Amino acid sequence: MLPVQRKTRTQTRKGRSHHALTDAQLVTCPHSGEAKKPHTACRETGYVPPNGNRPGFFLDIKLFRKKNK
């Protein structure tokens, strides 16, 4: 279906006002001090911080590293 009426420039620009990108939020790993995204494992140590009832734990990061060719 087509719109009944054309959107004005103002309506279009007001709709685009919510499309702006935001900077990535970063936190520091308590073990290595590296910057990482929240709620993710650290790339250096594999540490995952505690969340709610789950305790913090370490992942075996050797399994997740990409092989350099």
**Residue 5 falls within a domain, yes or no?**
no
Domain count, the chain: 1
Give dist(CA 57, CA 68) in Å, integer.
27
DSSP state of 48: E
Residue type, 53: N
**Residue 14 falls within a domain, yes or no?**
no
**Residue 42 falls within a domain, yes or no?**
yes
Residue type, 36: K
Of the pLDDT bands very low, low, confident and very high (cuts 50, 70, 90), residue 42 is: confident
Six-digit token pair at 18?
């919510």
- Cβ burial, residue 15 (10 Å; 0-12/13-18/19+): exposed
pLDDT in tens, 3-35: 889 999 999 999 999 999 999 899 998 888 999
**Residue 43 falls within a domain, yes or no?**
yes
**Residue 35 falls within a domain, yes or no?**
yes
User: Which residue range forms the structural domain that includes residue 57?
Assistant: 24-69
**Residue 67 falls within a domain, yes or no?**
yes
pLDDT in tens, 43-68: 888 888 877 777 777 877 766 666 66
Which residues is 48 bridged to in the sheet? Answer: 57
